[in-house]
């Protein structure tokens, strides 16, 4: 079974990205039924909204170091940068020509993000899901580990794959989403009914993996909760406490049920202290490894291997797709 996933280098990687995506990649890399695993930096996706050139370069490098620091093993996972594999853009274009404006306009992420674009909404922000479909279909990926918010994009990917297969004959594997039960949707610390997002203008809303540990603890201690005083899991009436329970459950590998039992007589302050300490314990070793890696030649070594492997697979596939569509001259 082949797996692929990517994250945009669009800012500080958050605890949401970690628990919803990266931590699962690390678990999955050891599964015997996974024969091939590709994880990339979705830099072409990042430019669907304005990016500062220098910050983008820095964020790309930082995301690669973060992948490794969180425990992705380059012996088991091919790590690469999307823009270093031109076939992503090539397939993205072909899929754009097979997608409908209406179905792209219905994407919730597009609807949310377009509201925030003061300088105009780029065409790329609308067509982004067809590029994402290209990322996945290019490698005949069987499954895609992502957080809950990407489910709709994966459904569109499946639709585009089936539409293409019907029109041109069997070409793409139709992929399955792989959404973890716990941590698939970590919420904002300041508005716990909203997703924790790295592009939130309020840094108190998210925990960045590289935040100073004292700041991490402070953010958790001041997370918005309710005044009911009871520790219970109820995402509708107690979104803040439920979110902290989810976070604690993920970082301690303990079920929410057991945590609710454990904290039934505690007050919010004791509970928040424990969440703060548990998150700190998870992040400290990651930060240490990150600092060792960020300026090491290891990053280029890993990225060169990943780039070559991904290009090898992707170029074979794009040649087949060109032949199916009738582009250019026939190749063998």
Active site residues: 113, 195, 198
Look at residues 60, 66, 84 and name the one whose alpha carbon lies nearest to residue 11: 60
Which residues between 100 and 159 bind ligand LTN (CB under 6 A)?
132, 135-136, 144, 146, 150, 153
Q: Could you say which of ligand LTN, ligand ATP, none residue 186 binds, taking C-beta under 5 to 8 angstroms by partner kind?
A: ligand ATP
Q: Could you say which of ligand LTN, ligand ATP, none residue 136 binds, taking C-beta under 5 to 8 angstroms by partner kind?
A: ligand LTN
Measured N-to-C along each axis, helices 108-115 and 151-168 cross at an angle, to the nearest 10 degrees, of: 120
Q: Is 11 in the site for ligand LTN (CB under 6 A)?
A: no
Rounded to whole angstroms, the Cα distance separating 141 from 35 reads 11
**Mask 213-242, x = binds ligand LTN (CB under 6 A)?**
------------------------------
Look at residues 205, 91, 111 and name the one whose alpha carbon lies nearest to residue 153: 111
User: In this complex, which beta carbon is closest to ligand LTN, that of residue 137 or of residue 223?
Assistant: 137
**Mask 129-148, x = binds ligand ATP (CB under 6 A)?**
-----------------xx-
Rounded to whole angstroms, the Cα distance separating 253 from 232 reads 18
Number of residues that bind ligand LTN (CB under 6 A): 14
Q: Is 14 in the site for ligand ATP (CB under 6 A)?
A: yes
Angular region, 255: left φ>0, alpha ψ -120 to 50, beta rest: beta
Supply the DSSP string of 230-289, one letter for each residue.
----BTTTBHHHHHHHHHHHHHHT--HHHHHHHTTT--HHHHHHHHHHHHHHHHHHHHHH
User: In this complex, which beta carbon is closest to ligand ATP, that of residue 49 or of residue 318?
Assistant: 49
DSSP label at 96?
Answer: H
Q: Is 12 in the site for ligand ATP (CB under 6 A)?
A: no
Type and span of the H or E element at 224: none
Rounded to whole angstroms, the Cα distance separating 5 from 21 reads 8
Of residues 3, 4, 8, 279, which one binds ligand ATP by CB under 6 A? 8
Of residues 149, 191, 226, 305, which one binds ligand ATP by CB under 6 A? 149
Give me the phi and psi of 255, to 5 degrees please: -70, 155
Which residues between 186 and 245 bind ligand ATP (CB under 6 A)?
186, 195-199
Q: Is 8 in the site for ligand LTN (CB under 6 A)?
A: yes
User: In this complex, which beta carbon is closest to ligand LTN, that of residue 127 or of residue 225?
Assistant: 127
Are the C-beta atoms of 199 and 205 separated by less than 8 Å? no
CB of 88 to ligand LTN, least distance (A): 9
* Alpha helix (H) residue ranges in 9-76: 15-17, 23-28, 43-46, 53-69
Q: Is 5 in the site for ligand LTN (CB under 6 A)?
A: yes
Q: Is the dihedral of CA 270, 272, 277, 282 positive or negative?
A: positive
Sorted by sequence, the CB contacts under 8 Å of residue 123 that are 6+ apart come out as none
CB of 42 to ligand LTN, least distance (A): 4
Q: Is 184 in the site for ligand ATP (CB under 6 A)?
A: yes
Tell me which residues touch ligand ATP (CB under 6 A): 7-8, 10-11, 14, 16-17, 19-21, 146-147, 149-150, 184-186, 195-199
């Amino acid at each position: 079974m082949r797996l692929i996933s990517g994250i945009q280098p669009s800012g500080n990687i958050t605890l949401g990205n970690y628990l919803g995506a990266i931590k699962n990649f690390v678990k999955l890399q050891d599964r015997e039924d996974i024969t091939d695993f590709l994880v990339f930096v979705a830099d072409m996706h990042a430019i669907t909204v304005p990016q500062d050139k220098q910050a983008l370069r820095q964020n790309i490098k930082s995301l690669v170091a973060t992948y490794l620091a969180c425990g992705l093993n380059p012996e088991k996972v091919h790590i690469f940068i999307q823009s270093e594999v031109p076939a992503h853009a090539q397939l993205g274009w072909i899929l754009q020509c097979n997608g409908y404006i209406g179905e792209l306009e219905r994407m919730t992420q597009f609807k949310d993000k377009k509201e925030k674009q003061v300088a105009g909404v780029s065409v790329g922000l609308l067509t982004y899901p067809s590029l994402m479909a290209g990322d996945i279909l290019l490698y005949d990926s069987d499954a895609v580990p992502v957080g809950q918010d990407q489910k709709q994009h994966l459904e569109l990917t499946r639709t585009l794959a089936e539409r293409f297969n019907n029109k041109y004959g069997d070409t793409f594997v139709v992929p399955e989403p792989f959404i973890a039960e716990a941590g698939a949707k970590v919420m904002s610390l300041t508005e716990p009914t909203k997703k924790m997002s790295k592009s939130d203008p309020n840094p108190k809303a998210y925990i960045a993996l590289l935040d100073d540990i004292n700041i991490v603890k402070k953010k958790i201690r001041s997370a918005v909760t309710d005044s009911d005083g009871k520790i219970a899991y109820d995402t509708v009436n107690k979104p803040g406490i439920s979110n902290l329970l989810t976070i604690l459950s993920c970082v301690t590998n303990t079920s929410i049920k057991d945590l609710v039992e454990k904290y039934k007589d505690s007050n919010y302050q004791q509970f928040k202290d424990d969440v703060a300490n548990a998150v700190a314990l998870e992040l400290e070793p990651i930060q240490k490894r990150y600092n060792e890696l960020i300026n090491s030649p290891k990053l280029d070594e890993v990225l060169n291997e990943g780039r070559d492997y991904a290009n090898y697979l992707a170029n074979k596939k794009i040649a087949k797709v060109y032949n199916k569509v009738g582009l250019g001259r026939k190749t063998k």
